[in-house]
Amino acid sequence: MYQGSCLCGAIHYEIHGELSAAAYCHCSRCRKANGSVFAANATVKESEFRLLQGGEALKTYSTVAGVHRVFCGQCGAPVYSKRDSGPGFLRLRLGLLDTPLAQGPQQHIFVGSKAPWYEIHDGLPQHAERAPV
């Protein structure tokens, strides 16, 4: 079980399941949405995500591509994204987790669009776009 919360503390959630496909994502959308040089994300089943408090603070930014970025409307912390093309799954923003992970992401994705001023200094696999399935 994992627990997470946003910066202002309005939103608290639990995950009653496993994280999968964890990755550091360097795509320009994640960089802009997070205001950072890359994002750390993992996939969880929507049915295993339980919002404990803060439902009224959750806001959604939806793109024409059918991606919905869900964030705290009070502090702006990104919570998860979901896609029309992947129903039933959420892409969780790992920085909000309060539960320490045994192991962080083991891959970099969308390295082809990473910020040119950031160099990756670990030996983890790098994928130009999505990781091969």
Which residues here bind Zn ion, judged by CB under 5 A? 6, 8, 10, 25, 27, 30, 72, 74-75
**What is the rounded CA–CA span in Å between residue 33 and residue 78?**
7
Instruction: Tell the smallest beta-carbon distance from residue 14 to Zn ion (Å).
Output: 16
Instruction: Tell the smallest beta-carbon distance from residue 77 to Zn ion (Å).
Output: 5
* 3 state SS of 114: coil
> Nearer to Zn ion by C-beta: 25 or 111?
25
**What is the rounded CA–CA span in Å between residue 44 and residue 111?**
23
> Nearer to Zn ion by C-beta: 10 or 70?
10
Give 61's contacts (C-beta < 8 A, 6+ positions apart): 33, 68, 69, 71
Instruction: Tell the smallest beta-carbon distance from residue 78 to Zn ion (Å).
Output: 10
> Nearer to Zn ion by C-beta: 6 or 97?
6
